[in-house]
Structure 1
Amino acid sequence: MLTKYLYIAGCIPFIALGILHTVYTIADIYNPKRLIPYKSEIMGLMKESILAITKETNMWRAWVGFNISHGVGMLFFSVTYLYLSIFYMSFLQSSLFFMSAAPIISLTYLVLSKKYWFSIPAIGSAIGLLCFVAGILVQLYV
């Protein structure tokens, strides 16, 4: 039972980060002020710069799309694990794949946060990772 609550707790930081990331990005489409370059002229250059792979979009539109898809992906990960933890915990506990995927994905987000992003997603990822690892340890040893 404790594993269930640790997995639910591990989902919460990722749900919060996914919602914030998606909402901030969508808000930036209409009123850019969060996930934008600090120097405003860079945003203008992003809008003028097409991608080498295609002329169908520019760097700004790609940036917005990447950020929205990133937030939605994080939400999918966390809501899926929340759903499994609440309604299908016996299935989750019996699956080595699903039990180990949550900490692996969390660790991936933590590494990305430390290398490419900033402290808030790193802290959230670390909390989620610790909860998932603790959930596995409780299942194995308690």
Structure 2
Amino acid sequence: MHDPSIAALLLAASAAVLLLLGSAHLLLTFAGDRFHPRDPALTARLQEESPRISRQTTMWRAGLGFHASHSLGAMLFGLIYLYLALEPERFVMRSTPLLWLGFAYLLAMVLLARRYWFNVPFRGVALAAALYAAALLLR
């Protein structure tokens, strides 16, 4: 049997990666122009145009909201699983449903990152998934 504290530390490291990625994403969403289109005319159009679902927002504001909520989701996952991995009773290491739920989330993030994002978030979530998988194997 492997030392469960090693598995818990791997799980904590995985969660910390997601917390870091989500925090960086939130910062980049509201500070600077890293997520802005390269074409200023497109930015102007996005700030004017509303989606078909509602005229109460613009594509620009909706995009900011999607980026922020996406960031908060990654941060929440990171905070919860970091706490669960480090809490003294290590409950999460004995909870098969919680462990597999976390792993399923990370696999979904890897697939999304590979299909829709760029290299940095893909590598980050792939690292988090690999750390998490190692924790599952060692538990």
Inter-CA distance 115–89: structure 2 relative to 1 (3 Å threshold): farther
Q: Which residue does 1:80 correspond to in 2?
A: 80
Inter-CA distance 62–34: structure 2 relative to 1 (3 Å threshold): same
Q: Displacement of 1:102 after TM fit?
A: 1.7
Superposed CA deviations along residues 71-90 of structure 1, whole A, max 9, x for unmatched, are: 01100011100000111553
Cα distance in structure 2, aligned partners of 1:89 and 1:49: 52
Q: Which moves more between the two structures, 123-132 or 94-103?
A: 94-103
1:107 touches 1:129 (CA, 8 Å); kept in 2?
Answer: yes
Equivalences for 1:56-135 in 2 at 5 Å? 56-87=56-87, 90-135=90-135
Q: Which moves more between the two structures, 85-94 or 121-130?
A: 85-94
Q: Which residue does 1:12 correspond to in 2?
A: 16
The residue type paired with residue 27 of structure 2 is V
Q: Displacement of 1:8 after TM fit?
A: 0.9
The residue type paired with residue 44 of structure 1 is A
Q: Which residue does 1:52 correspond to in 2?
A: 52
How many residues are aligned here? 135
The residue type paired with residue 39 of structure 2 is K
| 1:137 partnered with 2:137 | yes
Cα distance in structure 1, aligned partners of 2:45 and 2:93: 50
2:85 touches 2:93 (CA, 8 Å); kept in 1?
Answer: no
The normalised TM-score by structure 1 is 0.91
**Identity within the alignment, %:** 28
Superposed CA deviations along residues 86-128 of structure 1, whole A, max 9, x for unmatched, are: 1155310221111112221111111111100000000000110
The normalised TM-score by structure 2 is 0.93
Report the aligned-residue RMSD: 1.1
Give 4+ residue runs of structure 1 displaced > 6 Å after superposition: none
SS of the aligned residue for 2:90 comes to helix
Inter-CA distance 120–60: structure 2 relative to 1 (3 Å threshold): same
